[in-house]
Amino acid sequence: MKIILFFLIFQEYIPVSKKSESNIFYIEKIKTLENANIFYPYLLPEDYKISDGDTLEIRFFGHFNGLSKRGVPKSGEILIASIPLVIPYFQLTGLPSTSPFFDTIPPLGKFYVKGKRVKEVEKEIREKLKEKYPETDVIVELISLGVKVVHLVGDIPYPGYYTVSPLTRITGVLAMGGVFENSKLKEGKIYLVRNGNKIEIDINKYIDEGDLSSNPYVENEDIIIFKRKKK
């Protein structure tokens, strides 16, 4: 039994040393569509905001002691409800104890998490938790990322629909469509259509000044338009 459990854990997690601390951290590995591996939550950019398709792990400890995994739907709301589960405690001998351990989730209601950072969501849950159950604390982590489908059109070699990770910026999608060089990007105008609103993207500020706000992350159902400037 112990050997099987270790094998399963070894398959799912990869040990990664953190230089600032002596402990070993086990963090999950996911594959992007380009077959490259990225690690999270530690190597996620600080400005990453939760999106639909992502999965949060919410762990309570104290008076309530439970674990809840919530996928973020399109509405952006997750429900934290009381779901009592009885998990038998197994002694070192492998025999079940007569004293079960109760795994419970406090009934806190709905939280809107889409577009917020993980720490912001954790703070909101903790504040509501402390109002009702001051003897319980919470930790929130992002354990998996959803994928985005975007539509690329315009004066590009390979227009069409692309499925990308939520860490993809507009220039990444344009590169998939065949616009690789900065000089080529500067030759055109870039528009982003999101939720029915069309805005022009000043990609020069990103290329010349490294302004990331001028090269935003893509979101699901975005339309990216690349038009060559008329000479």
pLDDT for 51-70, tens place per residue? 888 999 999 988 888 888 99
- As a whole number of angstroms, the distance between CA 187 and CA 208 comes to 14
- At 52 the three-state DSSP class reads coil
User: What distance in Å separates the CA atoms of residue 87 and residue 141, rounded to the nearest whole number?
Assistant: 23
Can you give the pLDDT at residue 183?
79
Composition of the chain by helix, strand, coil, percent to 5 = 20, 40, 40
Mean pLDDT across the chain: 77
The tokens for 24 are 């070993």
Average pLDDT of the residues in 219-223: 92
pLDDT at 48: 84
Percent of the chain clearing pLDDT 70 (strictly above): 71
Could you tell me the end-to-end alpha-carbon distance of the chain, in angstroms, rounded to an integer? 71
Q: How many CB atoms lie within 10 A of CB 97?
A: 11
Asked whether the predicted pLDDT for residue 162 surpasses 60, the reply is yes
CA distance 118 to 96: 37
The residue that leads in pLDDT, 100 or 62, is 62
The pLDDT score that the predictor gives to residue 99 is 44
The sheet with strand 13-17 has its strands ordered as: 13-17, 24-31, 37-39
Q: What is the pLDDT of residue 157?
A: 92
Q: Is residue 32 within 8 Å of residue 146, measured between CB atoms?
A: no
Q: What is the pLDDT of residue 200?
A: 94
> pLDDT value at position 201?
93
Burial class from Cβ neighbours inside 10 Å (0-12, 13-18, 19+) for residue 230 reads: exposed
Distance from C-alpha of 154 to C-alpha of 198, rounded to nearest angstrom: 14
Q: Look at residue 95 in the predicted model and tell me its pLDDT.
A: 53
Asked if pLDDT for residue 25 goes beyond 50, the answer is no
- For residue 214, give both structure tokens: 């001028």
Q: Which residue has the higher pLDDT, 195 or 102?
A: 195
Question: In the structure, what pLDDT confidence band is assigned to residue 94 with cuts at 50, 70 and 90?
Answer: low
The whole-number pLDDT of residue 38 equals 43
* Distant-in-sequence, close-in-space partners of 73: CB < 8 Å, separation ≥ 6: 52
Separation of alpha carbons 231 and 225, rounded Å:
19
Could you say which DSSP state residue 100 is in? P
| Whether the model pTM is above 0.85 | no
pLDDT tens-place string over residues 67-93: 889 999 989 999 998 655 454 544 444
Question: Residues 171-194: what's their mean pLDDT?
Answer: 89
Q: Which two tokens stand for residue 110?
A: 């709905």
Q: Where are the alpha helices (DSSP H) in the chain?
A: 2-12, 118-132, 170-176, 182-186, 203-209
pLDDT at 8 over 60: no
Strand partners, 169: 217
| Best mean pLDDT range from 9-13, 36-40, 160-164 | 160-164
Find out whether 168 and 218 touch, Cβ atoms under 8 Å: yes
DSSP class of 213: G
pLDDT, average across residues 4-11: 36
pLDDT for res 82: 66
The pLDDT > 90 percentage for the chain reads 45
